[in-house]
A and B are shown apart, each in its own frame.
Chain A
Amino acid sequence: MTEAPLLDVRNLQTHFRTPDGVNRAVDGLSFHVNAGETVAIVGESGCGKSVTAMSILRLIPEPPGKIAGEIRFQGRDLLKLSEPEMRAIRGNEVSMIFQEPMTSLNPVLTVARQIGETVRLHQGLSRQDAERKSVEMLRLVGIPAPERRVKEYPHQLSGGMRQRVMIAMALACNPQLLIADEPTTALDVTIQAQILDLMRDLKHRVGAAIVLITHDLGVVAEVAERVIVMYAGRKVEEASVEDLFANPKHPYTQGLLGAVPKLGSSLDGTTERLAEIPGLVPSLKQRIEGCVFAGRCPKVTDLCRAVAPALEPKAPRHTAACHYAEKERLAA
């Protein structure tokens, strides 16, 4: 792929000033997303994955937040744009789906008004055209009887339908990049399966690139092409989805994969004890000198505590930030 990536994030630092010190929620994150690609960012609570998503769209209140680095979208650095320029991008070229479809829709506006708002604003459609577009979008996301639903209020819809409305809203202006922050976490499994199917199907039809933020490794395996693993505000590993699950290099990724119970384990008699990652995520309020995972890593050495490992290629198109992973490879 010689073309410039659609989104190129370089050395992103999103810090928050708090009464007891600076919280380095995202600390030097770099990654890129190619046109039409699905990239998942995974990690546990507080690893900085949602803050990354919010930073891309500059939805972080400043102050107390502060975003530094570069966020290049189609060659333009979003961090250098004025607020009006940013507004022309949000919901238009880059749009976002949030976790809570209950709280991210306006309860006093009809579905038509909410979907229509984006197309009227960005594409200058009339009220009638906007309503037609809303119906069309609801049909696209598979809501039955869209002509009727479009006149309803969010409380009249089920959770799964609200999430479909959110997706319809996000896609109304044909964005090139869709950021989905835990889009199925609040949904039941059978509804989650519907929404994941919908996202896969729409991806083929609409062709938008997707940044999927999630903690659910099952969802990652089903949807993503490339995966970025975050821990304590940093990227610790990046690989294609097949590589990451088949051959995780970073001890944190290995730990995470071992800690997930696998459905079907009783069939092949592998319901053994789950692997634990002992200890806790370090506080982000102190600058961490060595490796961020050193405090919990089973393979920790003095080197890890002193020197932060750089992200290095450990296999073709597979990078990890671990001193030890490379040593293993060299030995082998």
Chain B
Amino acid sequence: MSASPNTPAPLLRVDDLKKHFPLRGGLLGGVTGHVYAVDGVSFDIAKGETLSLVGESGCGKSTVGKAVLRLFDITAGQVVLDGQRIDTLRQSQLRPMRRRVQVVFQDPFSSLNPRMRVRDILAEPIRNFGLAKDAADLDRRLAGLMDTVRLPRDAVGRWPHEFSGGQRQRIGIARALAAEPDLIICDEAVSALDVSVKAQIVNLLQDLQKELGLALLFISHDLAIVEHMTHRVAVMYLGKIVEVAPRRGLFAAPKHPYTQALLSAVPVPKPGAARTRIVLQGDVPSPINPPSGCRFHTRCPYVFDRCRVDEPLLKPTSPGHTAACHLHDLPADRNPLARDATPLH
């Protein structure tokens, strides 16, 4: 499961996606600015592949997920599912696409309707998309879904409040699976769970991916979980992807200073572990008024003049591994990221 399967046409292709939210204010409530939440993001996901989108609060990773789900209209760019553009589809044409792309949210307490029994929660997508032939088929599907997420079949008659957080997240996963999707977007799907329950859900997602051949867009800020789950990783900072790499490449040899700092900042459950820690100064700048040039230049330990004016583009550094950093244009002896610069040893 190391490299991504190189199929000619990816299941999902996102091309130069932009989403700017208007800011209103002033006396007449006019548009006074924009939040550049996502500002030119491109990636693709193959069938059966997990791509993780990582970054800190406000980097735009959840906005990318919502754009792929078509929960709002995008500002610019393309979202292509299996060769078909979905960002331009009219509402009435969206239904088949909605079946193929499902989502699991972060908070298992607010993402299930407390007034619906599990049976109805799971039956809704099946009915919506007309997947069941008859009532008996519906029951068969419900039982199958409960088996798939390792919940007792007779629990379908119960209400969401009767379940623990981990069990609710299983119900959320079963609801996503009910539509028989090709791609599931997991938006911080395990972040709210306790350690021991998190492990259960992570294992379940990995099993399901193998059994059902699902593609996952795994949105998370938790790098250790991501490393555990993913085939490839895309790192976002202030609305842009700064690095994309296969799992091993990213964790063994990060090629962007932000990725390097992010990896070094994660506390490791190993007392006395000697690590080179790069503590970034200051806070993430506002996406309303992002810095010029490279957006990371205000916090980058390796910043030089060019970074402040010239925006770096994603360029390949090794097969399948791209990074947006001017350091890679320097001669190798002056590039601190040329060698394997992982802070994880």
Contact = CB atoms under 8 A, between A and B. Distances in A.
Interface of A: 44-45, 158-161, 188-194, 196-197, 215-222, 241-242, 245, 255-267, 271, 273-278, 280
27 contacts: A188-B57, A188-B221, A189-B262, A189-B266, A190-B265, A190-B280, A197-B279, A217-B195, A218-B267, A219-B267, A220-B269, A221-B270, A222-B267, A222-B268, A245-B269, A259-B198, A263-B263, A264-B345, A265-B228, A266-B247, A266-B251, A267-B251, A267-B345, A274-B202, A274-B203, A274-B228, A278-B200
B199 A259 contact: yes
Interface of B: 56-57, 164-166, 194-200, 202-203, 206, 221, 223-225, 227-228, 247-248, 251-252, 261-273, 277, 279-280, 283-284, 342, 344-345
A288 B251 CA distance: 45
B249 to A, nearest CB: 10
Contacts of A190: 56, 261-262, 265, 279-280
Contact of A221 (B199, B206, B224, B267): B267
Nearest to B270: A221
A277 B198 CA distance: 10
B195 A262 contact: no
Given A188-B56, A273-B203, A265 B227 contact: yes
A161 B283 contact: yes
A108 B267 CA distance: 35
A276 B283 CA distance: 36
B224 A262 contact: yes
Contact of B279 (A193, A265, A275): A193
A261 B202 contact: yes
A315 to B, nearest CB: 16
A274 B199 contact: yes
Nearest to A222: B267
Point out which of B195, B225, B228 has the most chain A C-beta atoms below 10 A from its C-beta. B195
B268 A262 contact: yes
B195 A260 contact: yes
A44 B267 contact: no
Contacts of B271: 221-222, 241-242, 245
B196 A256 contact: yes
A137 B220 CA distance: 35
A276 B199 contact: yes
A263 B195 contact: no
A257 B266 contact: no
A218 B264 CA distance: 12
Nearest to A225: B271
B261 to A, nearest CB: 6
